[in-house]
Structure 1
């Protein structure tokens, strides 16, 4: 199979949007951990209403932006040599500038969709900026990362491109994020330990050198699934778990296979997914640098999501458990309280406290860690 044609695009692209709808009134903002490749959108209309705020990566004293070939090469070398690699949330000012630009462009509202607040303070920066935005901003903590977040952004953009209101765009993002599952393999836990993202897998450090861990994202945290003694067995086990995940789902499915420093293994896994479910859309893409900085060289991740999300009801509105609070002064609006109806989605109230849905079991003793302190954030 010629994987050159698959890199950075969907195996079976999904058409979205229609020709006879009014201009979108809602824009979508996200961060560069979402993993969306170039050409991800089903239409120019979708692509035009999305803004991606870059997340900085620091290698030693050098600061890099997401996505450049120079930065990817420098990060791979730094990880191989064990150099100091850090990340930071975007500064609130970056979000303020984006929200202001969208208001000036004529959008009526913004839905700001971000990676787990238990892994990064990015959603807090977005929330601070939203308080002074000129138009209403709904900030969503997806409790996810990589294409688990990317799928949610795509769903939100598709809804916005079809003319949906902010409430329904937010519903599309939260329901998609809740339906996604992420499994990943790392050759070593060391880089996760350095970045403070190890969570419940911390107890494995007694056998660190012997462990080839398989991990998952649950309720916004990195949690351990299995310990495997060799890399080949761990990769085989990841494929088995991916197959089980596909078997448990009905209807069309989308899969993203992420890699950093091991593209051949990612191609093999993607090929196995297609053989297992020929009707599955597969995206093969590198893990974003801001995530690879914590996962390390050799990470292999799989994000699985339904290809078809819940429709709006007959009145054109999403079925939600409640409504966002009205705000005419431009202050932040949080997504509607979906935790009771959409399991596993973490939503945050305006005071910053976090609740989780009941669909996925919590992991006792797991503490979330954020990026650098606000005082150390990079403008």
Structure 2
């Protein structure tokens, strides 16, 4: 992490952003179910989350974790599909009809899904009223950025500031480990050769998001070691961020292990460590037992020159 990135995590919310107490936001926010937006933000006014559906054994299931768990347990085919552009168009129209002057649509990495492209197709019919951002990340790194966008929006920030905050989600880091690489291979996120080698050698790689794509960072030889490395990597990044570091843990079917990790990370987080179950659209590719950690600064400095740069 370079000095520009460190300074961009120094905290911002300038004094001119005094809360206005608006009952009806002037800027609507649209996201998708891959964002892992913390639960406490999901009831904010002027926010719509579009579901990225999963397909279990050729049956569309929406964002249903129970259907996914059953499908994975039974060895059924599990896939994902981008939302139809019409889903986004309906969300944009609903917000504009409700009195929003503009809409900011923020979505997970276009290198992993066509969701952002579907949003752009829908936005084309709304002209300058709708702005779409490909966050180039996913899960809590995106969720933390969305939380910042909502806080800034409700404090009166203009669209240009909100867009910059959304784009700086790439400064947030995420590391995850899976017990098996098979689901990632089936979804085309890693090569067949990597999956075979990983399973044969009992390698449980630490994966991260780099420039929007999944990248292998380290290759521990057991899942227990991978879990320990997740903690070490999160603590390293938290120390670099400093006193305003906030941390989160994600899992799918591994709540006990996620809670253990959160307990270890708690002294280094400026807020209670967020624990989130991974959305079905993401867990469909990682499979059962996935663990992940995320690190972000609270209220990152909206420096447009720093946006889009990231060091794993």
Q: TM-score range by the shorter chain?
A: 0.7 to 0.9
1:36 aligns with 2:37: yes
1:154 to 147, 160, 176: 147
- 1:25 maps to 26
Q: Counterparts of 2:256 and 2:23 in 1: how far apart (Å)?
A: 44
Q: Which structure shows the bigger proportion of residues in helix conformation?
A: 2
Per-residue deviation, 1:299: 0.3
Q: Deviations over 1:268-296 (max 9, x none)?
A: 00000014x16343111100000000011
**What are the equivalent positions in structure 2 for 1:216-231 lying under 5 Å apart?**
216-231=208-223
Q: Counterparts of 1:161 and 1:213 in 2: how far apart (Å)?
A: 40
Q: Counterparts of 2:291 and 2:108 in 1: how far apart (Å)?
A: 18
**What are the equivalent positions in structure 2 for 1:199-278 lying under 5 Å apart?**
203=194, 205-209=196-200, 210-275=202-267, 277=268
- 2:161 maps to 168
Per-residue deviation, 1:226: 1.2
Q: Deviations over 1:53-93 (max 9, x none)?
A: 01111111321122xxxx32221122233210010010000
1:100 to 93, 106, 118: 93
Contact 1:253 1:281 in 2 (8 A): no
Q: TM-score scaled to structure 2, two decimals?
A: 0.88
Q: Deviations over 1:179-231 (max 9, x none)?
A: 200100101111001001126x9546324231112110111010001112222
**What are the equivalent positions in structure 2 for 1:160-199 lying under 5 Å apart?**
160-175=153-168, 177-198=169-190
Per-residue deviation, 1:249: 1.7
Aligned length: 296
Contact 1:187 1:213 in 2 (8 A): no
1:342 aligns with 2:306: yes
Contact 1:108 1:135 in 2 (8 A): no
- 1:334 maps to none
Q: Deviations over 1:318-362 (max 9, x none)?
A: x54xxxxxxxxxxxxxxxxxxxx225x2xxxxxxxxxxx4x448x
RMSD: 2.3
- 1:59 maps to 56
Q: TM-score scaled to structure 1, two decimals?
A: 0.73
Secondary structure of 1:303's counterpart equals strand
Contact 2:238 2:246 in 1 (8 A): no
Q: Counterparts of 2:311 and 2:246 in 1: how far apart (Å)?
A: 21
Q: Counterparts of 1:259 and 1:17 in 2: how far apart (Å)?
A: 36
1:116 aligns with 2:109: yes
Per-residue deviation, 1:251: 2.5
Contact 2:198 2:204 in 1 (8 A): no
Secondary structure of 1:98's counterpart equals helix
Q: Counterparts of 2:235 and 2:258 in 1: how far apart (Å)?
A: 15
Q: Counterparts of 2:38 and 2:62 in 1: how far apart (Å)?
A: 15
Contact 1:24 1:164 in 2 (8 A): no
Secondary structure of 1:248's counterpart equals helix
Q: Counterparts of 1:258 and 1:306 in 2: how far apart (Å)?
A: 17
Change over 3 Å in CA distance of 1:207–1:95 after alignment to 2: closer
Unpaired segments ≥5 residues, structure 1:
1-15, 312-318, 321-340, 346-356, 362-379
